[in-house]
Amino acid sequence: MKRLFSGIQPTGELHIGNYLGAIKNWVELADKFDAIFCIVDYHAISVEYEIHEFSSRTQNLAAGLLACGLVEKKCTLFVQSHVQEHTELAWVLNSITPMGDLSRMTQFKDKSRQNPDNINAGLFSYPVLQAADILIYKAEVVPVGEDQVQHIELSREIARKFNARYGETFPEPKEYLTRGARILGLDGQAKMSKSLNNHIGVFEDEKSLREKLRTAFTDPARLRRSDPGNPDVCNIFTLHKFFTEEGVVKQIDGDCRKAAIGCVECKKILADRMVSHLTPLRERYEDLTSNQEKVRDVLSDGFVRCSGLAKTTMNEVRERLGLFRP
């Protein structure tokens, strides 16, 4: 089986962009690959965060991933900072990564804009640690949302560079994208993000989910109920395609274009579908967070496996680098 790797940061509440763009695919792909999933906590410290909440946030994210369907799968889940070789390999890869490549990264530019008082070197070299996360397991497939494609391309170039300079060591990883690859936030403009206040949580309670949808942006040109709408530019319609039955989606598409349905009703249909899709996940999440033993067991098994794999790769890398070994 080919190896697959993907990661997620414990930067906030798991949202439906993460779910549709990444985690739903993780669950599907877990059967087809040797799948390794990682909570990348060292990535998350490159922006401001609540120190006293960080540990429980990491544990709850693990519970969340299991609740989204990983609990039934044969896959590996672990926490990045538990396997020290990630940061060690990142240092090595830093030494072959051009500054110019890193300064072109869109995420660095976006996050620098969002955190103007904390533009640190960690934020800058984030994609190098990400390359290390992937390459340390010699993973070939990386399921991500569209925002991460540029980073995976860079991981590929870093692998190529390392191989050219030190000898064939790493396969070149490839991104795996699906149709949920770019979910917009409730503002209908920026991508939905944990660190921007524009998301709907996967485990959000029904009342607040309905309230958030109620105020979400739709087709900006549709000002009055009697104006025909354009589903092609409406974020609510995009979400319908994931949560609502095909026949109903078609009906809404037609009705919206001739103003036979208004945004209020359209949102209500979506809210009903989302609630019925997400409620079982929330119940499972509540079970897993109230009994953390299952989560700890999974993470501990993940650590044992990944630590072994990472040590093997790092030994090979040290040898390739020509380091002195007594």
Tell me how far CA of residue 206 lies from CA of 192, 212, 240, in angstroms: 19, 10, 17
Q: Which two tokens stand for residue 242?
A: 């994931």
Assess contact for 4 and 140: CB atoms under 8 A.
yes
The single residue of 2, 24, 74, 111 carrying the catalytic annotation is: 111
Number of residues that bind ligand ATP (CB under 6 A): 20
Which residue sits closest to ligand ATP, CB atoms considered?
A: 21
- How far apart (Å, rounded) are the C-alpha atoms in residues 274 and 287? 20
Helices 246-257 and 263-290 meet at what angle, rounded to 10? 150
Q: Taking CB under 6 A as the criterion, which residues in 164-203 touch ligand ATP?
A: 180-183, 191-195
Please indicate whether residue 138 is annotated as part of the active site: no
DSSP state of 34: E
Query: Residue 264 burial (CB < 10 Å; 0-12/13-18/19+)?
Result: exposed
Exactly one of 4, 21, 33, 132 binds ligand ATP (CB under 6 A); that residue is 21
Please indicate whether residue 191 is annotated as part of the active site: yes
Nearer to ligand ATP, 128 or 144 (CB): 144
The CB-of-279 to ligand ATP minimum distance in angstroms stands at: 22
The single residue of 194, 212, 258, 311 carrying the catalytic annotation is: 194
Binding piece for ligand ATP, criterion CB under 6 A, among 8-16, 90-98, 218-226, 282-290: 8-16
- How far apart (Å, rounded) are the C-alpha atoms in residues 9 and 100? 25
**Residue 9 within binding range of ligand ATP, rule CB under 6 A:** yes
- Each residue 100-139 as x (binds ligand ATP by CB under 6 A) or -, in order, gives ----------------------------------------
Exactly one of 4, 5, 17, 295 binds ligand ATP (CB under 6 A); that residue is 17
The CB-of-190 to ligand ATP minimum distance in angstroms stands at: 9
Please indicate whether residue 212 is annotated as part of the active site: no
Q: Which DSSP helix (H) or strand (E) runs through 67?
A: helix 51-67
Exactly one of 80, 125, 148, 313 binds ligand ATP (CB under 6 A); that residue is 148
Assess contact for 47 and 111: CB atoms under 8 A.
yes
**Residue 152 within binding range of ligand ATP, rule CB under 6 A:** no
The CB-of-61 to ligand ATP minimum distance in angstroms stands at: 9
Q: Which DSSP helix (H) or strand (E) runs through 6?
A: strand 3-8
Binding piece for ligand ATP, criterion CB under 6 A, among 80-88, 145-153, 280-288, 318-326: 145-153
DSSP string, 116-174: TT---HHHHSHHHHHHHHHHTTT--EEE--GGGHHHHHHHHHHHHHHHHHH-S--PPPE
- How far apart (Å, rounded) are the C-alpha atoms in residues 82 and 133? 12
Closest CA to 132 of 304, 325, 306: 306
**Residue 144 within binding range of ligand ATP, rule CB under 6 A:** yes
Dump strand ranges (E) for 89-160. Answer: 141-143
- How far apart (Å, rounded) are the C-alpha atoms in residues 273 and 244? 6
Binding piece for ligand ATP, criterion CB under 6 A, among 77-85, 142-150, 167-175, 294-302: 142-150
Q: Are strands 76-79 and 141-143 parallel, antiparallel or unpaired?
A: unpaired
Q: Which two tokens stand for residue 265?
A: 């009703």
**Residue 80 within binding range of ligand ATP, rule CB under 6 A:** no
Which amino acid is it at 136?
I
**Residue 262 within binding range of ligand ATP, rule CB under 6 A:** no
Nearer to ligand ATP, 96 or 281 (CB): 281
Nearer to ligand ATP, 32 or 250 (CB): 32
Residues that bind ligand ATP (CB under 6 A): 8-9, 11, 17-18, 21-22, 144-145, 147-148, 180-183, 191-195
| Residues with a known catalytic role | 111, 191, 194
